[in-house]
Chain A
């Protein structure tokens, strides 16, 4: 594949230079024609090229939508995600209508009104009515979009914390994530990077009575259909907690606690078995298989087959391994979630173990 593409590039470059040399020769030999100012012939050729470009460009856009639409993320796995996607599709639809229309006018006019000697252009300096129309139409359309967008925005961002909300701290550091669950008292203990010492890796305040039952995990498990509120804390630099499948993102800022909340609606299992994901994973594994062939031929390890899991990414440049700062997310039924959580070691237990080790 790679070699093939390189050959294409080289071939295209070759053609380019060949064409250029031809043009150079042409421009030198025809002394009768001005090589610098567009003649009627140029206007005509360039006008037709504009028309050709319009057609090619439309085909190219169509091709992009046709073959790349599948890249769009699967059905949103969070409650607000549905609204998000609807607003996105409406916006894309609207944009494309305007895009096709204006690009048509622009390139078609460039073709239609290509210059000719002796032709008279239409002296047309102003038309208040026309300009009013194309001021007011965007105003109305944008007003609609703004109002729709702002309603959705305030719904997403105003997270009301009640007794039922699962509060989880996400802790970001170069280059990884940790999650902290509140434990039985349902309250996260106080924390600050100044308390980081030894196995107390996220800086929990040991003197805080709420802290001991907190649980620190390296996987993020979420109960389905329950509101989750993330409290985000950074150890060192800016990070961004990006949950593409849940249409959620918030920066993680050292020195302050930021938050984002959503309700997961599709379990990992369901997502894995959805038609979209089955197709996608099959295709990805096909690609991985082919890439593996090449790797094995070079004496390297083959790639593991891929199985879908939700993941959390870092989406704010944070250093050398920014590209690989991820955390697995598991959305599961509430029972499974509780069972998993019960199996995790609490902070108190970890500290006690440590003390015992020190005594020995």
Chain B
């Protein structure tokens, strides 16, 4: 390494200004009620991983039921108990509860809080050159509200009438009436309370991220020099602030309908031999409100992953990200479009068909910025010097599943074609690939890549390789054949398909899918093992193990409160000067070093790029 890159390491320690770490930290202030963004990020990550393990375990359980319907398994009896799995046979209540809570946990607790919560907290201050979040206190509060929300959601699994089981979209009247399904009793109440807390934490967090990015960028860090990670996390936070409040209003109205006799979503209902007094509401209104969040939500999930992947890919390709401006523009375009496409979940909901046409139009428009992103990632690899670190593999995997899953969106976004595949397994295959698996790959890529910065140690690459390849094969093994099952007209959320002999020939394929699902789920244990053992016994990390340009790699390996022991570094360039040559094309800008960190001033032997 040249002297230049080390300039910041050796930075003088006398610049020890107001942000000293001299006041003694107790265990509680350091690890529990910490206001340090790095610790809060780790809290988010670990909570998210625990929730993720739970969500994946649930999916394995209901996949076993789908493959071998109504057969007895000891594991059901063990985990679900006598009431929900009499004689080891999972009952329909348990099945619907599992799919509902699996969806809720994975979408909100893992891929929203676990992904964007972790990396927004961790990377925003580090990469923009800030001592911490704009409000460390609010940041701490937002984690602990998330924690309460998680605890409430998990506790709903243990109430007598069972957890919410009306699907993660909780459409009323099913979710409003305990008479309609047992899960809509106490379980649903807890679900709604948990989500209210979740939304509160998301808003607190998002506001903090936005303010931090706008106000606390270091000297020289103009918006056009921001790494794409920050752009993605920043825009994600904006989408969250715009759309989450609408879900809160929907949840509050549902609570009112359930408990206080209002009729926002209920009308003309006769159930269990009685006509309900509710009159004049409409479930379609709920669908509008739900999807006004629900659709942007999938971009809240996928944009951070896109940001992480862009950064990891550029760094490991030893090349600048291709088309930085187009990447930023497409993030903004996706964010804007994401708020005007929600109706594509409702083509056959009974809303006016003309509205369906409008939503088809806006929905298919999203394919354009998405295509630009995909092509730009591929071009980033072209003529690179690809360092196949685990983070890089997951980034390549991300682009692969994002394309595969995204392309079927062209079918589902077309109102005509949606008619016959709506709510079938085709939809399950589509969204799991494009936002589930892709976002998880983003999460894994991020963890592998920033683990050295988070824990000061490295993760084992060989375990990472095994983890990646088995997951990559398993994920496609689960979700690719599923498209065809959907095209056969098999609806989702069916406890068993045996009521329709017409589906009998799909049974073998369902078994195959379940086998892949079990393998994929089990291999995640390798990741968990690698993660935990590396925290304690991993090889000690160097300051900049991936030879990256962004500012977080200029901080010392051992975390300090305030991130930089001395002055905050200034920024002189964008974050993608990988393999940049000097004017004469004889050597790199810094001789012998194929990267130029952002805090290195413009050299005499290079041209400035305009971005």
Query: Could you list which residues of chain A lie within 8 angstroms of chain B, going by C-beta atoms?
Result: 1-2, 5, 8-9, 12-13, 16, 19-20, 23-24, 26-27, 34-38, 42-43, 45-47, 49-50, 53, 56-57, 60-61, 64, 68-69, 71-73, 83-84, 87-88, 91-92, 94-95, 98-99, 102-103, 105-107, 109-110, 113-116, 119-127, 130-131, 134-135, 138-139, 142, 145-146, 149-150, 152-154, 156-158, 174, 192-194, 196, 203, 232, 235-238, 240, 242, 244-245, 247-251, 253-256, 258, 280, 283-284, 287-288, 291, 303, 306, 308, 311, 313-324, 326
Contacts and interface: CB of A to CB of B under 8 A. Distances in A.
Given A134-B375, A142-B367, A254-B283, A123 B579 contact: yes
Contacts of A134: 371-372, 375
A81 to B, nearest CB: 9
Interface residues of B, number: 141
A120 B579 contact: yes
A254 B285 CA distance: 12
A110 B374 CA distance: 14
A95 B414 contact: no
B161 interface: no
Contacts of A321: 92
Contact of A311 (B415, B477, B487, B502): B502
Contacts of A102: 374-375, 378, 403
Contacts of B353: 153-154, 157-158
Interface string B294-319: 00000000000000000000000111
Contacts, number: 403
In the A-B complex, the 6 residue pairs with the smallest Cβ-Cβ separation, listed nearest first, are A255-B267, A244-B489, A36-B458, A46-B388, A68-B484, A157-B353
Given A157-B353, A322-B495, A149 B414 contact: yes
Nearest to A196: B270
Nearest to A61: B480
Nearest to A6: B515
Contacts of A256: 267, 282, 284, 350
B518 A156 contact: no
Q: What secondary structure prevails in chain A residues at the interface with B?
A: helix
Contacts of A318: 174, 180
Contact of B388 (A53, A114, A245, A253): A114
A12 B377 CA distance: 34
Interface stretch (B75-83, B126-134, B141-149, B519-527): B519-527
Interface string B92-122: 1100100000000000000000000000000
Interface stretch (B40-48, B185-193, B419-427, B555-563): B419-427
Interface string B268-280: 1111000100001
Contact of A320 (B92, B268, B281, B414): B92
Given A53-B473, A308-B502, 12 more contacts: A16-B470, A20-B463, A34-B539, A38-B387, A49-B469, A102-B403, A115-B388, A124-B320, A131-B375, A247-B420, A315-B423, A319-B174
Interface of B: 68, 71, 92-93, 96, 166-167, 171-174, 177, 180-181, 266-271, 275, 280-284, 317-326, 348-350, 353, 356-357, 360-361, 364-365, 367-368, 371-372, 374-379, 381-389, 392-393, 396, 399-400, 403-404, 407-408, 410-411, 414-417, 419-420, 422-424, 458-463, 465-466, 469-470, 472-473, 476-477, 480-481, 483-485, 487-489, 491, 493-497, 499-502, 504-509, 511, 515, 518-519, 522-523, 526, 538-539, 545-546, 576, 578-581, 594, 609
Contacts of A68: 481, 484-485, 509
> Which of A121, A146, A315: most chain B CB closer than 10 A?
A121
Which of A73, A145, A192 has most B Cβ within 10 Å? A145
A121 B443 CA distance: 27
B519 A12 contact: yes
16 contacts: A84-B417, A106-B377, A106-B381, A109-B381, A110-B381, A115-B318, A123-B581, A145-B364, A150-B357, A193-B270, A235-B270, A238-B283, A256-B350, A317-B171, A320-B96, A323-B494
A123 B595 CA distance: 11
